[in-house]
Amino acid sequence: MLTGSLTALANALGASTGLTGNLTPVTYGLAAIGSGVGAGLIFAAFISGIARQPEALSVLRTWAFTGFALVEALALIGLVAPFFLS
């Protein structure tokens, strides 16, 4: 079931038109750029929040690392997805 849905997704995205091969590193590069920007924005807001309200450190730290984990999970999906779609 999962393989069929991935194949349908690949066909919908145009993977059957020859967009495979050397473009796999490019797709991961774009995913890494996006996750790098996202992590930077998360920790910039974290530092700004601590500077404004130092007593909220524990709450802000929890949310910052949760957001960072989600952003990095998207980067890992960006690494794995081209291999499933090719």
What CATH number should be reported for the domain holding residue 31?
Answer: 1.20.20.10
pLDDT value, residue 43: 96
pLDDT above 70: residue 86 = no
Please give the tally of structural domains in the chain. Answer: 1
Residue 37 phi, psi dihedral angles, 5° rounding: -65, -40
pLDDT value, residue 65: 96
pLDDT in tens, 25-38: 777 777 788 889 99
pLDDT value, residue 4: 60
Structural domain range at position 67: 2-85
Q: How many other C-beta atoms can be found within 10 angstroms of the C-beta atom of residue 35?
A: 21
